[in-house]
Amino acid sequence: MTYDLALGDRAYSSWSLRGWLLFEKFGLPYRTHFARFYTDEFTDLMAKFEPAKTVPTMRAPDGVVVSDSLAIAEELATRHPDAGFWPTDPTARAVARGLAAEMHAGFFALRNDCPMNLRVAYANFAPSDAVQADLRRLETIWAHAIDICKSDGPWLCGAYSVADAFFAPVAARIAGYGLSVNKMAQHYVDAHLSEPAFRKWREASLNDGPDQPKYAMNYDTRPWPGI
């Protein structure tokens, strides 16, 4: 009953990180199949997961192939209703689903201007007005979730959920580019940076082949801010 999971570069593929966390954090059995972007090995990997063309993609034990991290999350939650993908409380569950969907479909300025790179942190990145607007929106929806769900831990809707898995790469961007957020949002970012599964993924990313030149940025660097 093991799932097969197709993934890209750990250091750069934010969607792969989300997909992997859906298995690692919720205790499902899986085998990973990695391939580096912009190489023939990526094309070859995707050919083994047809008709998918992007990562993450999973092949379930019954052979069905599902790509896209949100589709994977929903399918896993259906197949494993007791795994804890979504909160059991109806209000918290609705909030978590809304958060995951907004992350999945938005924050384009933050994504485009600040590609995830777990190998480096920058010292002098100046965010655009559009990135600043994305950061203020994150502060708003994170605070709303914590308030309405009465979350007394580090996560948005109580226990760690799909919503938190989806925001892990966002936290990495905020940390890696030194983006300024309020105290509440920074606390949430710090929770991701110290979370064991995230740290495991980042540590592996440091030894995951040479740097990809496409992701090089002309900024001063500083030590990674996480543990």
Residue 47 has pLDDT above 90, yes or no: yes
Predicted confidence at residue 48, as pLDDT, reads 97
Classify residue 223: in a domain, yes or no: no
Say if residue 25's pLDDT is above 80.
yes
Residue 20 maps to which CATH number? 3.40.30.10
Q: 188 with 105, same domain?
A: yes
Q: What local confidence, expressed as pLDDT, does residue 204 receive?
A: 97
Nearest to 112 by CA among 87, 130, 92: 130
The mean of the pLDDT values for the chain is 97
For residue 224, pLDDT beyond 80: yes
Residues 94 and 73 in one domain: no
Of all residues in the chain, the percent with pLDDT exceeding 70 is 100
Kindly state whether residues 46 and 101 are assigned to the same domain.
Answer: no
Same domain, 73 and 119: no
**Which parts of 80-128 fold into alpha helices (H)?**
90-105, 108-113
- Structural domain span for residue 107: 90-205
Residue with tokens 């905020």: 174
Same domain, 99 and 200: yes
Domain endpoint, select from 44, 79, 114? 79
Give pLDDT, residue 61.
97
One domain, residues 106 and 56:
no
**85 with 159: CB under 8 angstroms?**
no
Per-residue pLDDT for 114 more than 80?
A: yes
Residue 167 tokens read as 């925001």
- Is the same domain home to 73 and 157? no
The pLDDT tens digits for 56-99 are: 999 999 999 999 999 999 999 999 999 999 999 999 999 999 99
Q: Domain check: are 176 and 100 in the same one?
A: yes
Answer yes or no: is 226 within a domain: no
Specify if 28 maps to a domain.
yes
* 1 band by pLDDT with thresholds 50, 70 and 90: confident
Q: What is the CATH number of the domain that holds 130?
A: 1.20.1050.10
pLDDT digit string, tens, across residues 153-186: 999 999 999 999 999 999 999 999 999 999 999 9
Number of structural domains found in the chain: 2
Instruction: Answer whether residue 217 is part of any domain.
Output: no
Whether residue 112 sits in one domain with residue 75: no
Asked if residue 221 belongs to a domain, the reply is no
Strand partners, 3: 30
> Given this model, what pLDDT does residue 226 score?
76
Which amino acid is located at 219 in the chain? Y
Q: What percent of the chain has pLDDT over 90?
A: 98
| Residue 225 lies inside a defined structural domain of this protein | no
pLDDT of residue 74: 98
110 shares a domain with 46: no
Q: Are residues 200 and 99 in the same domain?
A: yes
